């Protein structure tokens, strides 16, 4: 089993690079952002709760996200592995993920940390906002999301660095160029 965490600030290209990872390695993709947005679309109770946080650029509470993820991981008994996209986003989520995988005697094999300067992140997300219709792709919310990232999510880099599985990936350049760096890091692990 191969378990990959794709990590980075909002707009760093986690979703974009995940699509290429799925294509190349055939892993099960779990994007907490996509899952939460589909709950919002369905206007479920969970979706209404998630929207009240996401539209302000805040993180959805850990327990809500961890329970949602645990349900998915436990269902997937024939998976070759997972790409965790946008999860974990807090140290508590990181610890929950480690505990969850331990039950299946597996672990996070690699954390691909995409590095992109803030100005480029803002430009990308504003551009996406022109077409996405996402309530969180506007300047005010983007600035808040970046602050939340630095306060609550970035400390995970240290967490994984101590585990020895963090790989920094330059997140600027063409999508294919970035993926070449990613594939090199992943191939090093599986070969
Ligand atoms: P996510 O859905 O994870 O979204 P994201 O961080 O905005 O985007 P991503 O990094 O995937 O960017 P993308 O590839 O699309 O989270 C949204 C919200 O959900 C969070 O703010 C939070 O509220 C909530 N949430 C999600 N997970 C949670 C969790 N675990 N706990 C609590 N709350 C959670 O790229 C962005 C844009 O850049 C795209 O338009 C793309 O085309 C462009 N792009 C990508 N690569 C590029 C490149 N190389 N050059 C130029 N443009 C590029």
49 within some domain:
yes
10 lines ligand 1 (CB under 6 A): yes
Q: 172, 120 in Cβ contact below 8 A?
A: yes
* Mean pLDDT lowest among 70-84, 105-119, 174-188: 70-84
Residue 35 within any structural domain of the chain: yes
Instruction: Evaluate whether residue 191 is within a structural domain.
Output: no
pTM: 0.95
Residue 103 is encoded by which pair of tokens? 């039950």
> Best of 9, 10, 62, 114 to mutate for ligand 1, by most ligand atoms within 8 A of CB?
10
- 43: containing domain: 2-184
| Number of folded domains that form the chain | 1
Q: Answer yes or no: is 189 within a domain.
A: no
Ligand 1 pocket mutation, candidates 5, 9, 15, criterion most atoms within 8 A of CB: 15
Ligand 1 within 6 A of 12 CB? yes
Q: Is position 190 within any domain?
A: no
Q: Can you list the positions of beta strands (E) in the chain?
A: 2-8, 28-31, 81-85, 110-115, 166-170
Q: Is 134 a catalytic residue?
A: yes
The predicted-structure confidence for 55-96, as pLDDT tens digits, reads as follows 999 999 999 999 999 999 999 888 899 999 999 999 999 999
Q: What is the CATH number of the domain that holds 137?
A: 3.40.50.300
């Amino acid at each position: 089993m191969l378990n990959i965490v794709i990590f980075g600030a909002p707009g760093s290209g986690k979703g974009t690079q995940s699509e290429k990872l799925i294509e190349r390695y055939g892993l099960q993709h779990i994007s907490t952002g996509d899952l939460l947005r589909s709950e919002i679309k369905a206007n479920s109770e969970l979706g209404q709760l998630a929207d009240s946080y996401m539209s302000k650029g805040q993180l959805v509470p850990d327990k809500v996200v961890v329970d949602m993820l645990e349900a998915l991981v436990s269902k997937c008994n024939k998976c070759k592995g997972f790409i965790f996209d946008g999860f974990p986003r807090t140290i508590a989520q990181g610890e929950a993920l480690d505990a969850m995988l331990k039950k299946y005697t597996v672990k996070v094999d690699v954390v691909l940390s995409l590095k992109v300067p803030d100005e480029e992140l803002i430009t990308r997300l504003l551009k996406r906002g022109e077409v996405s219709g996402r309530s969180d792709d506007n300047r005010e919310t983007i600035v808040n999301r970046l602050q939340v990232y630095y306060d609550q999510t970035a400390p995970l880099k240290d967490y994984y660095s101590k585990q020895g599985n963090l790989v920094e990936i330059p997140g600027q350049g063409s999508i294919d160029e970035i993926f070449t760096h990613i594939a090199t890091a992943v191939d090093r692990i599986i070969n």
